Amino acid sequence: MDAKFREKNQKILQQGRGAGYWLWKPYIIYKHLTDDKLPDGSYIIYSDAGAKVIGDVKHVLNFMQEHDDLYKGVLFFGVGFPQKYFCKRDAFILQDCDNQKCYDAMQINAFCGFFRKCDYSRMVVKAWLDACQDERVLTDMSNKMGQPNLQGFRDHRHDQAVITNLMNSKGWYYDTTNGPVLDKVFYHDRYKG
């Protein structure tokens, strides 16, 4: 990370949870999407350290290409749970997503993401990175906007909650139906029984 970014975000980055609440995740993805050495049209696949590739990712990339009118170069999958249980109220409010549609939206499973290097993917990931730099949105800090968490709230899911609010507040598409195809591509150790 460059020194200016580290200095600006040191309060978040010095936190132990997620090595700085996973702020580094959109930073690294954005850095690659803006790297001149990587030609436009190239694919970047992000996966958590606990995820192992167990299958061929080509069918996922083909799926992205076949449905480019929807995904436009960014593919996330849903985790199967509504956002309201895993997003603190300040994030909803500060991301212009404090409404029933956003509460009921399926949360994105940010353990993996597929990105085609293009203007759209750069815009989405830059917006994600920018939103994650607000500690009121990203971290476990208590709500400051004067509203309680929603009924049934369990835990804030940080970068995952932030990207879900962003995609929903902007009307950007992510997949909520084909998540099971990931089982053919990734094995994630968090799913161990």
Each residue of 41-67: pLDDT tens digit? 999 999 988 888 888 999 889 989 999
Name the phi and psi angles at 65, rounded to 5.
-65, -40
Mean pLDDT of the chain: 94
Nearby residues of 51 by Cβ (< 8 Å), 6 or more positions away:
111, 112, 186, 187, 188, 189
Structural tokens at position 188: 């994630």
Q: What pLDDT sits at residue 86?
A: 98
Q: What pLDDT sits at residue 180?
A: 61
- Total domains, the chain: 1
**CA distance to 14, 29, 104, 121, per residue, from 91 (Å):** 20, 22, 15, 22
Strand blocks (E) in 83-175: 106-108, 112-116
In-domain check, residue 186? no
Note the helical H segments in 45-133.
Answer: 58-66, 68-71, 89-94, 100-104, 119-132
Looking at the chain, how many residues does it have?
193
Specify the 3-state DSSP secondary structure of 72.
coil
In-domain check, residue 193? no
Q: What pLDDT sits at residue 53?
A: 85
In-domain check, residue 99? yes
Q: What pLDDT sits at residue 51?
A: 85
Residue listed under structure tokens 């895993």: 86
Strand blocks (E) in the chain: 43-47, 51-53, 74-75, 78-82, 106-108, 112-116, 186-188
pLDDT band at 178 (very low <50, low <70, confident <90, very high): low
Q: Is the per-residue pLDDT at 167 higher than 80?
A: yes
Q: Is the per-residue pLDDT at 191 higher than 70?
A: no
- Quote the CA–CA distance of 181 and 184 in Å, as a whole number: 6
* Spatial CA neighbour of 178 closest among 90, 99, 79: 79
Facing residues of 52 across strands? 187
In-domain check, residue 191? no
Residue 95 belongs to domain spanning? 3-176
- Which of 19-23, 128-132, 183-187 shows the lowest mean pLDDT across its residues? 183-187
Kindly report, residue by residue over 9-42, the tens digit of the pLDDT.
999 999 999 999 999 999 999 999 999 999 999 9
